[in-house]
Amino acid sequence: MEKTLFEKIWDNHVVFEEPGKPALLYIDCHLVHEVTSPQAFEGLRLSGRKVRRPELTLATVDHNVPTTDRSLPIVDPTSRLQVETLAQNCAEFEIPFYDLQSPQQGIVHVIGPELGVTQPGMTIVCGDSHTSTHGAFGSLAFGIGTSEVEHVLATQCLQQVSPATFRIEVDGSLSHGVTAKDLILYIIRTIGTDGATGSVVEYTGPTVRALSMEERMTVCNMSIEAGARAGMISPDEVTYSYVEGRPSAPKGQQFQEAVERWRKLPTDADAVFDRELRLEVSELPPQVSWGTSPGMVTDVDGNVPTLDSFADENARRAAERALEYMGLEPGTAMQEVQLDLVFIGSCTNSRIEDLRNAAKVVRGRSVASGVEALVVPGSQQIKKQAEAEGLDEIFRRAGFEWREAGCSMCLAMNPDTLSPGQRSASTSNRNFEGRQGRGGRTHLVSPEMAAAAAIKGRFVDIREWDY
């Protein structure tokens, strides 16, 4: 029978199945961070259980960590305790751990791929919804809650109900300056924040095939913002060459054998999906969010929507509330919206390619007066690479702050936050109320758009930028 990528991976990992019950699925890789794990380890201790396969587990600290001087202790005592608790748990249960001082430390979804831990055909979980990022490699990767973290630690398995399959096929080449971020924002805008609930989305089509690994990760990362259980892309040569040579990737002959196995993964030509959607994106303008949900998105050359443009009563009320929170007048041109802060970072857009693209936009220019701007690389390795390429200098000279790796202002659990009423252009993934700080107003954009916005102090159409 013809199968989808998802079905192949699923079938390869079912340990045990009974009709009418969830399957027991084997997990190849379990990523752990400080925020969603302490209660899981505590649960293990209380029940006297061990970690079944510590070597298939990998931990780092990212959500809470300061992005300033790492030689100083963490000021917030609760953050410090959470970070220390993870260190102790990893030591006690013998789990590989990249701590704050490690040159490999970074956002968990950035370092997995970077270390070559993320590979095609795997099942990958983490107590974090953006685990969907890893699906870019043709793996089945999804976020779980803390009870399930404990379950995976204890059993290396998860009880899972098989999701529906949803193919989103994208055609057309993206205009200059229009990126994978714009593509995924457009997809969420089109299908809605619950448009893919209950489904695993596979992104296919010429536009997706032409994306780099970094871009594919950006797309899969935000699948969760459309409600998807996971997002994935069938692996190809782009995938294999990205994985090759990374520390945890198979080597030599073993790598060749692995590639032979991976080549069998892509969705078969006649495989059937539960749902399909086709999009054409050659005319797609850069996207900007205007509201407090990642589906509240418009074109950069568009306007803040008017309330009578919403036919649905619930959507209209949600928009009204969002506009009030965002402090925006209906009908305002997006390019007139003035900004206070620009954040380039997060597991959506903090990889080396993102920083290179943003640096191109910034090169030789200066951040608008009154605007704060910061760049937070996704990992210490990316930071090092960027510094080797002189990107840090380009940013610094323009007036950006150049920080240490972590989640930072994506969710503002560390000291990097917006003040009430401050407005940001952010390359992160969520514009929820208060996400970047209580009362803060977030607009989601691509790294290029964020960079240009920092220079102008307002949104600009990056297609008209000279870079």
Partner 1 sequence: MEPFAEQKGVVAALDRVNVDTDQIIPKQFLKRIERTGFGQFLFFDWKFLADGSLNPDFELNREEFEGATILLAGANFGCGSSREHAPWSLLDYGFRVIIAPSFADIFFNNCFKNGMLPIRLPQAEVDRLFERVEGTRGYQLSIDLERQTITDGHGLILRFEVESFRRDALLRGLDDIGLTLQQEDKIEAFEARRRAAH
The site for ligand SF4 (CB under 6 A) is made up of 62-63, 107, 109, 128, 130, 346-347, 407, 410-411, 428-429
Which among ligand SF4, partner 1, none contacts residue 410 (Cβ within 5 to 8 A by kind)? ligand SF4
253 binds partner 1 (CB under 8 A): no
| Binding residues for partner 1 restricted to 43-102, rule: CB under 8 A | 43, 47, 49, 52, 63-64, 76, 78-79, 81-82, 85
In the complex with partner 1, the residue whose CB is nearer, 151 or 365, is 151
Residue 129 CA to residue 193 CA, distance in Å, equals 14
Of 110-118, 146-154, 165-173, 280-288, the segment contacting partner 1 by CB under 8 A is 146-154
Which among ligand SF4, partner 1, none contacts residue 267 (Cβ within 5 to 8 A by kind)? none
143 binds partner 1 (CB under 8 A): yes
Give the SS3 label for residue 408.
helix
Dig out the tokens for 125 from the structure: 């979980």
Please report, in angstroms and rounded to a whole number, the separation of the first and last CA atoms in the chain: 49
Q: Residue 249's CB: how many other CB atoms inside 10 A?
A: 18
Residue 204 CA to residue 215 CA, distance in Å, equals 13
144 binds partner 1 (CB under 8 A): yes
Q: Which residue, 113, 198, 133, 185, is CA-closest to 431?
A: 185
Amino acid letter, residue 119: Q
Of 94-102, 175-183, 349-357, 406-414, the segment contacting partner 1 by CB under 8 A is 406-414
Q: Are 95 and 57 in contact (CB under 8 A)?
A: yes
147 binds partner 1 (CB under 8 A): yes
Q: Are 64 and 33 in contact (CB under 8 A)?
A: no
Q: Helices (H) and strands (E) in the chain — how many of each?
A: 15, 19
Binding residue count for partner 1, defined by CB under 8 A:
65
Which among partner 1, ligand SF4, none contacts residue 309 (Cβ within 5 to 8 A by kind)? none
CB of 128 to ligand SF4, least distance (A): 5
Residue 168's region, left for phi above 0, alpha for psi from -120 to 50, else beta, is: beta
| Binding residues for partner 1 restricted to 289-308, rule: CB under 8 A | 293
Position among 120, 127, 266, 447 found at the interface with partner 1 (CB under 8 A): 127
Q: Are 344 and 450 in contact (CB under 8 A)?
A: yes
310 binds partner 1 (CB under 8 A): no
Tell me which DSSP letter residue 137 carries: G
Beta bridge partners of 405: none
162 binds partner 1 (CB under 8 A): no
Contacts of 20 (CB under 8 A, 6+ apart): none
Which among partner 1, ligand SF4, none contacts residue 271 (Cβ within 5 to 8 A by kind)? none
Rounded to 5 degrees, φ, ψ at 293 are -145, 140
In the complex with ligand SF4, the residue whose CB is nearer, 205 or 434, is 434
Which among ligand SF4, partner 1, none contacts residue 15 (Cβ within 5 to 8 A by kind)? partner 1
Tell me which DSSP letter residue 120 carries: T
Which among ligand SF4, partner 1, none contacts residue 107 (Cβ within 5 to 8 A by kind)? ligand SF4
In the complex with ligand SF4, the residue whose CB is nearer, 109 or 441, is 109
198 binds partner 1 (CB under 8 A): yes
Dig out the tokens for 399 from the structure: 């007036």
Residue 154 CA to residue 156 CA, distance in Å, equals 6
How many degrees, rounded to 5, is the angle at CA 406 between CA 234 and CA 423? 95
361 binds partner 1 (CB under 8 A): no
129 binds partner 1 (CB under 8 A): yes
Dig out the tokens for 460 from the structure: 């600009």
150 binds partner 1 (CB under 8 A): yes
Which among partner 1, ligand SF4, none contacts residue 104 (Cβ within 5 to 8 A by kind)? none
Tell me which DSSP letter residue 173 carries: P
215 binds partner 1 (CB under 8 A): no
CB of 451 to ligand SF4, least distance (A): 18
Sheet holding 341-344, edge to edge: 401-402, 372-375, 341-344, 423-426, 441-444
Q: Which residues bind partner 1 (CB under 8 A)?
A: 15-16, 20-22, 24, 26, 35-36, 38-39, 42-43, 47, 49, 52, 63-64, 76, 78-79, 81-82, 85, 127-129, 143-148, 150-151, 154-157, 159, 161, 163, 193-194, 197-198, 227, 229, 293, 314-315, 317-318, 321, 411-413, 420, 430, 432-435, 438-439
